[in-house]
Structure 1
Amino acid sequence: MSYPLTTPLSLALQHAAQQAFQPQDGSGVSITPTGEALGAVVTGLDANRPLSAALVRRLKQALDDHHILIFKQQALGDDAFLAFSTYFGSVFRPPEDVPVLASASNDGIPPDVVPVANVEGGYTGNGELFPHIDHQWTPLPSSGSLLYALEVPGSGGDTSWYNISAAYEALSPALKARIDGLQLITYNPFLRAKGQSRPQYRRPEAEPLGPGFPHPLVRNHPSSGKKLLFLATHGEVELVGVDADEGEALIAELRAHLLLPQFRYEHRWSVGDIVYWDNQATLHSRTAFPETERRVLKRVSLAGSRPY
């Protein structure tokens, strides 16, 4: 009996397995730190070709060390992009009852490859996006994402990443002791209508914006073991069991700390860039760009585990 493949992921991986390329052993691959708060640039790698086990391990270690990897001068289709991404994990699948970006396009489940673009069928438009952690409001936030640039505007549309491991380490011992063990609820921004008021902290008099999933405010990275300040700089949140006035002031203090320039790297996109970021160890934001210009990128997000 024949069982034809029907999902984009199965088809992409079957197509990749049928290619005649020899695996890359990494001998011509360089990983060079940006010299800034985080990030390393990867050159000499072709994302269309299979990777050796040693090269995959090397890239995963580099991600733990640098939090984002910038692959330059890539040219690949959706199938190859998806196959390359899955060297680093399974594709993120949110619960059907917890909406995320692009959920509405496919019966509650976003496509494997999400168009992050200001063209028809794309998402996020051309406005500013404040520093955030993707899928933080879900029970199992994504572990990371890969974003691939196909078209970039002449100005604006730059992406910044923030090192939330370094931000935690820079806190005073007293503040570290104060926040250790606290649980944070990040409320789902997709449950608010466009243009609706978006408070930055939930007060007791406000009805909760849907169900919340508490996660540690100080998270442990599952592979590196680093402690992370797992908090976005914007969005409605609540500290569990903490007086609202105290909690709101504490969150405001921590958010101001996260925005200090020593924790930030800004990336100016070039066509062919793939940036792979650790969604567990970083925030990311975007500057606005002219609505008359096209910005077309594609994103694959990877599954994560329960924060602890």
Structure 2
Amino acid sequence: MQVTEARRTATPLPAPIGAEITGIDVASSPSESDYEFMRDALHKYSVIVLRGQDITPQQQQEFASHFGELRTSFYNRYGVADVPALSIVSNLKREDGEHIGIADAGMLWHTDGSYLKTPDMYTVLYGLQIPHRDGKALGDTVFSSAWGAYDALPDDVKQVIDGRPAVHSFTAHIEKKRAKGQLKRAPLTAQQRDALPDVEHPIVRRHPVNGRKCLFVTEGHTSQIVGLPEKEGAELLDFLTEHVKKPEFHYRHTWRKGDLIVWDNCAVQHLAVFDYGDIPRRLHRAGIAGPVPV
């Protein structure tokens, strides 16, 4: 059902999640009422899309700050100049051959920052250079509903996982990428590794705004389930991470230059599609810190 307030509209996308917001120009300093409208839509649809935006990094930072406290990435070597709260996601390279941004972001299904004690609540991503081949946009981002996945689980599985924690590990994430030959970023320093110890979060997380139960284990960052024998835990984790990938929970976003997307990291997991090779791609990302998952 389309939601309209004055000039603003939130139109559900043809998918289980997602809505396109029209009638808001971010460069023209949206009102607090506009932001309230967008936050309400985000908590209802999990992903909101604003097309055709033409904004500076400073304007993206200001926009993102209305969704919560901005978090500067520990990969600050990939920060946007003079706007450290924004990170570059890109396959472009400098003259010395190093990528200008994170080139392997999103190769495995994940939710941003789940390896932190307080994971990212929201992510704001802005498309500056979108790769094309034969007139077709490449580099889609696929989102999957974490509460849709939880709701669809068999009751006996829900009984096993409700109240049980799992381990999220950035170190394990990097090793998974290395094993798959996907690792393209600069290695972590010893100081960065020490600042990212493994953490435990509930497998089933309650959304802090609307209270819905969300499946909070991912292919990318969850390394084990706590309190089960190793083999049983590994089999259950494989089942859950495959379950949340099912197409019936998906919205697949095909990027256009000027797209500004906000998604809810409690409510969705996402995956980047790497089908563009060396065709230039550049996006700017902002992360908003969230609460401790419960």
Which aligned pairs between 1:1-308 and structure 2 lie closer than 5 A? Answer: 27-93=6-72, 100=74, 102-104=75-77, 111-120=84-93, 122-125=100-103, 129-154=107-132, 155-189=137-171, 192=174, 196-197=178-179, 211-308=197-294
Which one has the bigger strand percentage?
2
Q: 1:236 to 1:69 in 2, by over 3 A?
A: closer
Deviation at 1:58, TM superposition (A): 1.6
Code of the residue aligned with 1:34 in structure 2: it is L
Larger radius of gyration: 1
Q: CA, structure 1 residues 119+190, in 2 after alignment: closer, same or farther (shift >3 Å)?
A: farther
Cα gap change, 1:131 to 1:54, in 2 (>3 Å): same
SS in 2 for 1:133: coil
Deviations 1:14-38 (A, max 9, x none): xxxxxxxxxxxx6212110002021
TM-superposed deviation, 1:194 = 9.3
Which one-letter code corresponds to 2:123 in the other structure?
S
TM-score by length of 2: 0.83
SS of the counterpart of 1:111? Answer: strand
Q: CA deviation at 1:125?
A: 2.2
Q: Distance in 2 between matches of 1:257 and 1:88?
A: 30
Q: Please say if residues 48 and 76 of structure 1, whose CA atoms lie closer than 8 Å, have aligned partners that are also in contact.
A: yes
How many residue pairs get matched?
A: 265
- Provide the C-alpha distance between the structure 1 equivalents of 2:177 and 2:69, rounded to a whole number of angstroms: 34
Kindly state the Cα deviation for residue 54 of structure 1 after the two structures are TM-superposed.
2.5
- What is the alpha-carbon distance in structure 2 between the residues aligned to residue 192 and residue 256 of structure 1? 20
Secondary structure at the aligned position of 2:120 is classed as coil
Moved more, 186-195 or 68-77: 186-195
The one-letter code matched in structure 2 to 1:256 is E
> Counterparts of 1:298 and 1:112 in 2: how far apart (Å)?
10
Identity of aligned residues (%): 27
Instruction: State the alpha-carbon separation in 2 of the partners of residues 304 and 128 from structure 1.
Output: 20
**1:293 to partner: Cα distance:** 0.9
Distance 2:254 2:215 in 1: 25
RMSD: 2.5
Q: Which amino acid aligns with 1:119?
A: L
Letter of the aligned partner of 2:91 in structure 1? N
Distance in 1 (alpha carbons) for counterparts of 2:90 and 2:249: 27
Structure 2, unmatched stretches of 5+, are 94-98, 181-193
Alignment deviations for residues 130-181 of structure 1 (CA, whole Å, 9 cap, x no partner): 2111111111101011100011000421100010011001112221111111
Amino acid at match of 2:244: L
Assess, with a 3 A threshold, how the Cα gap between structure 1 residues 127 and 266 changes in structure 2: closer, same or farther. Answer: same
Q: For residues 126 and 231 of structure 1, do their structure 2 counterparts lie closer, same or farther at Cα, with a shift above 3 Å needed?
A: closer
Letter in 2 for 1:124: I
What code does the residue aligned with 2:86 have? V
TM-score (norm 1): 0.79
Unaligned runs of 5+ in 1: 1-25, 95-99, 199-208
Deviations 1:192-231 (A, max 9, x none): 4697437xxxxxxxxxx97321001000110111100001
CA contact (8 A) 1:185 1:238 kept: yes
Residues 191, 266 of structure 1: alpha-carbon distance in 2 compared, 3 angstrom cutoff? closer
Contact 1:29 1:42 in 2 (8 A): yes
Separation of aligned partners in 2, 1:240 and 1:112: 34
How many Å separate the matches in 1 of 2:124 and 2:51?
Answer: 13
Q: Which letter maps to 1:213?
A: V
In structure 2, relative to structure 1, the CA distance for the partners of 1:213 and 1:122 (3 Å cut) is same
Distance in 1 between residues matched to 2:177 and 2:109, nearest whole Å: 19
